[in-house]
């Protein structure tokens, strides 16, 4: 398989390029700096020998590894995204390499006292003796999803270097702006031309997912009235107090920090305001569509009740659906999940089949006609300073990709 140092070097070359996306932007990609890595990836795909390498005006990248068998095999694809989340800085990433991890605390930043500890993240103990790549405590790492890109390119490179491994036609796709929910918006499924694909965008080794949240975003606007506080009696309306009423009206235990598995939630992620106006920004998540609709209706109902209390419209809400559970689109073609599960078992990985507590390009792509389960990329603690990835997990992800291609080819005989 691909040599460890080669894999590390490739991954680090990607994560040290700042590709943070911007939800306030109206362009695609949402930030110009995403082009820096996108253009580099195009050149790398050409260099390793892929064909039909293209990048469109929105930075969507596609390439082909032609079949090396004479029988007809379905075209399959592998997809990852190159942007990083705007929730935590991805600029000036300075990765640290921890060889032969001993299971103890890892000092990410001695000056600031930032520690990656198994006392807080017990999954670290799964990787004793392995090589970990961490942050320096001041940025995220970017394994979400530059690990996926590393694995896909490395797998294609390996297949090109080993023509004795038989496979059908393979399509590769890299997208911008997944972290702000737009990764699949302008993805040309017809041009991609695959019968199905896999996003390499999961977390720990073994993850295999074909369910995700139904998702919406909600913007709650509270309107107050500002007057001089010395003469405010009976006149001032403090929007922040009304906003607090609204926050407290939603179930306090149905939040991310109190839920797991298939349990949905309301997540208040941004508050900005003053006496005159306060804006609350929520995300709404649930795997069950009926529960998802109930959550949205609950938020609307609380808005109406507060307006009724004040006998005027002091609060308004705008809700926009973002994506839906891809299970509906995957269920009719479950053999594509079975192939990935078989590939993992064949190389000694125990599949962890579970719902994604989040979203994925695969959801939107599935609804656009490209069924797209999600496979682990190997990272942990995405979107923050405690992010890390075991190099051995990336190596295993590469093996999974290669094995899937051979299984698809063999099953077509």
Quick one: how far is CA 257 from the chain centroid? 19
Mapping DSSP to helix (H, G, I), strand (E, B) and coil, where does residue 233 land?
Answer: coil
Which DSSP state fits 84?
A: B
Which residue is it, tokens 């839906």? 324
Copy the structure tokens of residue 164.
């004795």
C-alpha–C-alpha distance, residues 80 and 29, integer Å: 15
C-alpha–C-alpha distance, residues 186 and 209, integer Å: 23
C-alpha–C-alpha distance, residues 201 and 328, integer Å: 20
List the 51-55 sheet strands across, edge first: 51-55, 61-65, 170-175, 76-81, 196-202, 374-376, 207-209, 352-353
* β-sheet bridge partners, residue 97: 133
Mapping DSSP to helix (H, G, I), strand (E, B) and coil, where does residue 283 land?
Answer: strand
How far is CA 40 from each of CA 2, 256, 299, 373, rounded to the nearest angstrom? 20, 37, 45, 27
Contact 180, 28 (CB under 8 A): no
Cis peptide bond N-terminal to 145, omega within 30:
yes
Copy the structure tokens of residue 71.
């029988």
Residue 368 host element (H or E): none
The reply to whether 257 belongs to the active site is: no
Q: Annotated catalytic residue: which of 22, 44, 83, 145?
A: 83
C-alpha–C-alpha distance, residues 312 and 295, integer Å: 24
- In sequence order, what DSSP letters do the residues of 287-328 get, joined into one string? SSHHHHHHHHHHHHHHHHHHHHHHTS--EEEEEEEEE--THH
How far is CA 139 from each of CA 12, 72, 94, 117, rounded to the nearest angstrom? 14, 46, 8, 17
Q: Annotated catalytic residue: which of 178, 207, 286, 399?
A: 178
The reply to whether 178 belongs to the active site is: yes
Q: Is the dihedral of CA 327, 329, 332, 338 positive or negative?
A: negative
State phi, psi for 55 to the nearest 5 degrees: -140, 130
**Which residues form the catalytic set?**
83, 178
């Amino acid at each position: 398989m691909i040599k460890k140092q080669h894999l590390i070097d490739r991954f680090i070359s990607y994560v040290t390029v700042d590709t943070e996306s911007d939800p306030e932007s109206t362009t695609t990609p949402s930030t110009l700096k995403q082009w820096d890595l996108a253009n580099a990836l195009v050149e790398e795909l050409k260099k390793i020998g892929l064909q039909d390498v293209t990048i469109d005006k929105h930075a969507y990248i596609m390439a082909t590894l032609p079949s090396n068998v004479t029988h007809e095999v379905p075209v399959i694809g592998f997809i990852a995204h190159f942007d990083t989340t705007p929730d935590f800085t991805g600029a000036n990433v300075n990765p640290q390499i921890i060889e032969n991890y001993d299971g103890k605390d890892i000092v990410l930043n001695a000056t600031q006292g930032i520690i990656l500890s198994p006392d807080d993240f017990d999954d670290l103990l799964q990787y004793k003796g392995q090589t970990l790549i961490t942050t320096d405590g001041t940025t995220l790492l970017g394994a979400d999803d530059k690990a996926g890109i590393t694995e896909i390119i490395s797998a294609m490179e390996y297949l090109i270097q080993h023509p004795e491994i038989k496979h059908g036609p393979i399509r590769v796709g890299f997208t911008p702006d997944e972290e702000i929910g737009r990764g699949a918006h302008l993805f040309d499924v017809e041009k991609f031309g695959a019968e199905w694909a896999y996003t390499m965008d999961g977390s720990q080794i073994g993850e295999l997912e074909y369910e995700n949240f139904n998702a919406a975003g909600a913007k709650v606007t509270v309107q107050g009235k500002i007057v001089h506080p010395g003469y405010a009696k009976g006149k001032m309306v403090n929007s922040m107090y009304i906003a607090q009423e609204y926050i407290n009206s939603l179930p306090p235990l149905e939040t991310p920090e109190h839920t797991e598995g298939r349990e949905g939630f309301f997540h208040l992620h941004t508050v900005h305001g003053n006496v005159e106006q306060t804006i609350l920004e929520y995300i709404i998540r649930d795997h069950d569509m009926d529960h998802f609709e109930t959550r949205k209706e609950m938020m609307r109902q609380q808005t109406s009740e507060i307006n009724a209390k004040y006998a005027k419209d002091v609060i308004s809400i705008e809700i926009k659906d973002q994506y839906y559970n891809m299970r509906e689109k995957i269920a009719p073609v479950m053999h594509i999940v079975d192939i990935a599960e078989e590939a993992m078992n064949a190389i000694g990985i125990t599949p962890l089949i579970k719902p994604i507590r989040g979203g994925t390009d695969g959801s939107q792509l599935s609804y656009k006609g490209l069924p797209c389960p999600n496979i682990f990329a190997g990272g942990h603690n995405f979107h923050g300073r405690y992010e890390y990835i075991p190099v051995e997990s990336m190596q295993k992800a590469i093996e999974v990709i290669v094995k899937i291609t051979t299984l698809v080819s063999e099953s077509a005989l």
